[in-house]
Structure 1
Amino acid sequence: MNFYVQSLFIAVPSFIILIIIEMIVSRIKGIKVNEPEDMISSLSSGITNTTKDAFKVGIVLISYAWLVDNITIYKIEPLWLAVLIAFIVQDFTGYWMHRLNHRVNMFWNRHIIHHSSEEFNLSCALRQSISETFKFSAILMIPAALLGIPVKIFMILGPIHLFMQFWYHTRLIGKMGILEYIIVTPSHHRVHHAINSEYLDKNYGQILIIWDKMFHTFQPELED
């Protein structure tokens, strides 16, 4: 059983608990964040997408394992440094893949389902397409391959990085002080999902917000 499937036994119950907590808190605060039909749609698409990934359905155009076997020029040690570099490369790759999903029509056609909800809540984080058939993101991971970062690190880091993107799909958490300058927060991601003209095509970051600031796609959430 691969790590992704194993991690689902922790991630899925955690997601369900957090969604229930969000529903309870929103009711206490008098903020409507869920519609039953919308939530069912989000959860059903999440189930089908997760099933697809668990069974590894898709065509890998270029694999990271192949890159490591063929272009490694130096093997990074110690392990903690390899993990740190892997995380940075994973997040950098995620930023650019997310940006491509928005800016290239072919990719937007599959990513649009994630933005199709009229609500912004934790369940919509699970609203993902099953049509991502061709996988080529490894091409952006060449720096890690050159440094000989082991495939196993990405096999473990990948699901963790993915699941860390769940929590910020909520309207119930405001701005988070100094963290706003370091990581992607609910405030940042509300901007990304908004349809206001000043917010369009902004905040593609997945964990670190630095990529949006480096590549001029950052937009803070305005008070009004």
Structure 2
Amino acid sequence: MPDLFNPIDYAVPAFIILIVAEMLWVRRRAPEKYDPRDTLTSLALGTGSTVAGALSGALVFSLAMWIYENRFFDIGWVWWAWPLCFVLDDLAYYWAHRSGHRVRWFWASHVNHHSSQHYNLSTALRQTWTGFIALGFIFRIPLAFLGFHPAMLLFVGAFNLIYQFWIHTEAIYKFPRWVEYIMNTPSHHRVH
């Protein structure tokens, strides 16, 4: 198993720079779109979520390793496993997120993400502290049964999380039509 590299460690400085840039952009165009107290709440929820994830992450990883030991296929670390794992992880994320809106149990854990009065990059940081208790990991953990190593799942899940960050903005109106057809974009997420 390769050493665990966490892309989020490198993304956090970019998150901060982008939030500050968006704050400056909004300040000139629509100052009512950012509220310092709201942003601080988002940062506090993001910090709490990080701590909660650190406390429960070892348990989820251990469960994923146990499941991986009983996997259906031996996929390994071949090049094509990475993009396939990313697409399947994104599909699992979709179902987790959809359940977060359709099933009361999951909504109780997800609702704080929708509690801001503003829609900006700091809102992306409003994550749950109760994801482990709500069993939100059950949507992604079956990928270990398929044969994706839990370290690979963590890695692609981190890139998925990085991608989800930047779509929480009103600063980007729309992308070219072909991009809008294929990808989840800020304009799609605003509709959500």
Q: Counterpart of 1:63?
A: 63
RMSD: 2.5
Quick one: distance in 1 between partners of 2:66 and 2:144? 12
Tell me the TM-score normalised to structure 2 length: 0.85
- Number of aligned residue pairs: 188
- SS in structure 1 of the partner of residue 56 of structure 2: coil
Distance 1:176 1:28, change over 3 A: same
Q: Counterpart of 1:154?
A: 153
Q: Counterpart of 2:35?
A: 35
- SS in structure 1 of the partner of residue 70 of structure 2: helix
Give unpaired runs (5+ residues) of structure 1.
193-224
- SS in structure 1 of the partner of residue 160 of structure 2: helix
Q: Counterpart of 2:15?
A: 15
Q: Counterpart of 1:83?
A: 82
Tell me the TM-score normalised to structure 1 length: 0.74
Indicate conservation of the 8 Å contact 2:106/2:136, yes or no. Answer: no
Quick one: distance in 1 between partners of 2:77 and 2:128? 37
Q: Counterpart of 2:142?
A: 142
Quick one: distance in 2 between partners of 1:8 and 1:47? 13
Quick one: distance in 1 between partners of 2:144 and 2:80? 11
AA aligned to 2:29 is K
Indicate conservation of the 8 Å contact 2:76/2:148, yes or no. Answer: no
AA aligned to 1:173 is I
Distance 1:105 1:112, change over 3 A: same
Indicate conservation of the 8 Å contact 1:90/1:158, yes or no. Answer: yes
Quick one: distance in 2 between partners of 1:183 and 1:101? 20
Equivalences for residues 43-192 of structure 1 within 5 A: 43-56=43-56, 60=60, 63-72=63-72, 74-76=73-75, 79-134=78-133, 135=135, 137-138=137-138, 141-142=141-142, 145-146=145-146, 148-177=147-176, 178-192=178-192
Indicate conservation of the 8 Å contact 1:60/1:136, yes or no. Answer: no
State, as a whole percentage, how many aligned pairs show the same letter.
Answer: 38
Question: How far did 1:68 drift?
Answer: 2.1
Give unpaired runs (5+ residues) of structure 2.
none
Quick one: distance in 2 between partners of 1:144 and 1:44? 32
Q: Give the structure with the larger helix fraction.
A: 2
Looking at both structures, which has the greater relative contact order when contacts are Cα pairs under 8 Å and sequence separation is at least 6?
Answer: 2
